[in-house]
Amino acid sequence: MLSLAAAMLAALATATWHHRWERAANGTPERGVLDGLCHAGTALTVALPVLPYVREQGTFLRVALASALLIDLDHIAAARSLRLDRCMTMATRPLSHSLLTPVLLAILAERLAPERHLGLAALLGLGSHLLRDLYTGGVPVLHPRHVVSLPPRVVIPLLGLMAIFSRSATRRRLGTRLLRLALP
C-alpha cells in the first residue's frame, strides 16, 4: 500500500508542476526544468505501484525515470542545437517520440536482462512520457507527419489505467513466482 500512496503523492506533485509549466514561457529554463519534473512525476506515478512485485526495486525505478527523461535528448539532434529555446519550440516532436520507441526499448531491455523487469520499467517510463506529450503538443504516433493530440481529460485517466494495469498484470504474471523471488 505504501507504493500506492507514494504514486498518489507523485501524481499530486506532477499536477502542481504541470500547472506551473503551463504558466512558464515557452523555451525558458524554468519551463524546461518543470517539463523534466512532470515527466519524472508521471513515470513515478505509473512505476511505483509495480514496485512491490519486482526484484530490484531501485534499479527498476532508475530505469523508469531515466527512460522518461532521456528520451528528450532526441530534441537536441532534431533541432540541431544545444540551445534550449530551439529544442523546446520545434513544430513537432522527433520521430523517436512514437509508439515504436517504448516497445522496441522494452523488448531490448528484456532480451539483455531477462527476469529483471527492466523492459517493463522502460515501457512505463517511456509510455508515461508519451502520454503526457499527447496533451502538451502531440506525438507522431507511427509517422512523423501524423501527430496525435489528446485532451487532458483523456490522458490523465490513461495514466491511471497504465498504473493500475501494470501493477495488476505484473502481480498476476508473477503469481506463485513471488515466493521464489523472495519478495515481501
Per-residue pLDDT tens digits for 166-177:
888 887 776 545
Q: Is 136 exposed, middle or buried (0-12, 13-18, 19+ CB in 10 A)?
A: middle
CA distances from 54 to 32, 49, 91, 125, 158 (A): 31, 10, 39, 15, 22
Domain around 37:
2-180
**pLDDT at residue 1 is higher than 50:** yes
Q: Structure pTM?
A: 0.86
Q: Which of 39-43, 49-53, 153-157, 168-172 has the lowest mean pLDDT?
A: 168-172
Copy the grid coordinates of residue 123.
Answer: 515501457
Residues 102/127, Cβ–Cβ less than 8 Å: yes
Query: Tell me, what amino acid is at 97?
Result: H
Per the structure, the count of domains in the chain is: 1
Q: How far are the Cα atoms of 7, 136, 160, 161 from residue 155, in angstroms, in the given order?
A: 17, 10, 9, 10
Give the residue with greater pLDDT, 117 vs 43.
43
Of 8, 67, 75, 69, residue with least CA distance to 38: 69
- Looking at the DSSP bridge assignments, the partners of residue 139 are 148
- Residue-level pLDDT at 87: 58
